[in-house]
A = this chain, B = another copy of it.
Amino acid sequence: MGSLPFLHDPLENSSSHLTKALDTEEFRKQGHMVIDFIADYYQNIEKYPVLSRVEPGYLKKCLPESAPYNPESIQTILQDVKDHIIPGLTHWQSPNFFAYFSSTASTAGFLGEMLITGFNVVGFNWVSSPAATELEHMVMDWLADMLQLPKSFHFSGNGGGVLHGSTCEAIVCTMAAARDQMLSRIGSENLGKLVVYGSDQTHSTLQKATQIVGINPENFRAIKTTKSTGFALSPAMLRLTISSDRAKGLVPLFLCATMGTTATTAIDPLGAVCNVAKDYGMWVHVDAAYAGSACICPEFRHFIDGVEGANSFSFNPHKWLFTAMDCCCLWVENPSALINSLSTNLEYLRNKASDTKQVVDYKNWQIALSRRFRALKLWLVLRSYGVANLRKFIRSHVKIAKIFEGLVRMDNRFEIVVPRNFSLVCFRISLSAIVSDDHYDGEEYNMVNEINCKLLEAINASGSVFMTHAVVGGVYVLRCAVGATLTEEKHIREAWKAVQGQAHTILSACIVDSA
């Protein structure tokens, strides 16, 4: 049970030791100290290996087994952050972070989080902090406007938007709404017949949400995609799968279409798949977690053409719109479906404003009752940078990715595996760099996958960059996802040199091996 002095409480009767938990002057002093600490961290961020090098269990060895009984100074704690936490971080804000999709920090997003935490209001309903609800309402309409979402998703068009923490939450909520809407028509005894559709490239969040809301796991369809459609969902395959399910007496419920898949940023053809879904009365959710942000630029907006056929749409400003974690925007065409599934009527929250139904009570649009004032950080980001700069930031990342793509194309040992849509480049050492023969067999396919896997490990072990991988159509690809706020052209050029350097070593060894 550790070594806490549980029964003896030496300080119990001495009030002299009572530190205040919120003393304005202490707050000011320590706050300034931590601002400088973080600014220094950003200043030095390129000095750290991007991917942490610690071994599992490292922290246990550095820190005590139980909470301290007596207070410790902020200086001591910050020293421990420097000595023990920072070495265990994978530096998502490093300009050399090209893994997963980024989580873009920004000054405005940070300041927004400070205000959120400073006010620390819990905006479950309107009255508990009207500004929290009304600013969210407003910011969601602003963003809907920036993305040119159909009027039906705006509050003014009888739809509406809400801030969730994650795409999974957005999908759980919309799927529960779809499920309850459907069951109210066909009877709750038919829950076991409901079917959910996505592609084999849809984020696994869909499968998790399906499981959480109690849909039979056997009724989850991950429709196969191929390279021929750029790993996008085929409307014909979708229709075929749905018909087959219908023939078995099952009930098609929910389709998640993706705009910018995680593996390769593939784009499901929204218009066509929405048409198929419409024929079967299904709910369509569009997951644009990463690439949604790009649609604030006119030149990328066409990728969500057809979204007007969907019932809901979500994207994550914490990924690529310079808003700190966590922040997922969800719009629905029919808020009452959401509210019917997620409402609770709590006597202790009853108030006149809610009773008159003049106001939005966001607790009925999400899983939790409690909620942070997330709109504040989005509002700060939108205002501090303005639409003009936000577009510039997005375009600058895309430009950097294009440069990387160009560098890859110039090196004939490498290939681009799928066309680049946004700021993700999917590349690898090509088969031809290893085998001169044109008659490749399965073994050689495996070999090239293994070599690329080794290449990624070597790149990441160097500490100079961090990239991740995907496997699509049996092909192991390296993902270079440009999106960290601090990344500039020079970083991608250095990253490419690092890739080339490691590739040289690996390919040389290869040739020696086969010689």
Contact = CB atoms under 8 A, between A and B. Distances in A.
Q: Is the interface of A mostly helix, strand, loop or mixed?
A: helix
A339 interface: no
A127 B100 CA distance: 12
A107 interface: yes
Contacts of A152: none
Interface in A202-236: 203-205, 207-208, 211-218
Interface in A6-61: 6-7, 9-12, 15, 17-19, 21-28, 30-32, 34-39, 41-43, 51-52, 54, 56-60
A189 B189 CA distance: 10
Contacts of A84: 131
A428 interface: no
A414 interface: no
Taking each of A24, A84, A262, which has the highest tally of chain B beta carbons within 10 Å of its own beta carbon? A24
A403 interface: no
Interface string A125-140: 0111111101101100
A292 to B, nearest CB: 15
A261 to B, nearest CB: 10
Contacts of A165: 165, 368, 370
A69 B208 CA distance: 38
A382 interface: yes
A180 B216 CA distance: 11
A169 interface: yes
A185 to B, nearest CB: 16
Contact of A370 (B32, B166, B211, B393): B166
A4 B119 contact: no
B31 A389 contact: no
Contact of A34 (B11, B114, B485): B114
A17 B392 CA distance: 9
A465 to B, nearest CB: 15
Nearest to A33: B111
Interface stretch (A238-246, A341-349, A502-510): A341-349
A52 B132 CA distance: 11
Taking each of A71, A76, A151, which has the highest tally of chain B beta carbons within 10 Å of its own beta carbon? A71
A498 interface: no
Interface stretch (A87-95, A269-277, A304-312, A429-437): A87-95
A251 interface: no
Contacts of A512: none
Given A85-B131, A471-B347, A107 B204 contact: no
A91 B127 CA distance: 11
Contacts of A450: none
A27 B119 contact: no
A385 B212 contact: no
A344 B204 contact: yes
Nearest to A180: B211
Interface footprint category on A: 35 or more
A22 B471 contact: no
A369 interface: yes
A369 B468 contact: no
Contacts of A203: 369
A470 B347 contact: yes
Contacts of A107: 21-23, 26-27, 30-31
Nearest to A77: B383
A350 B449 CA distance: 15
A27 B151 CA distance: 37
A128 B31 CA distance: 27
A113 B117 contact: yes
A325 interface: yes
Contacts of A31: 35, 38-39, 107, 110-111, 114
Nearest to A129: B90
Given A208-B342, A326-B372, 18 more contacts: A11-B391, A17-B389, A17-B392, A18-B396, A21-B385, A22-B106, A30-B111, A31-B107, A84-B131, A86-B131, A110-B117, A110-B118, A166-B369, A166-B370, A179-B214, A191-B192, A262-B346, A325-B370
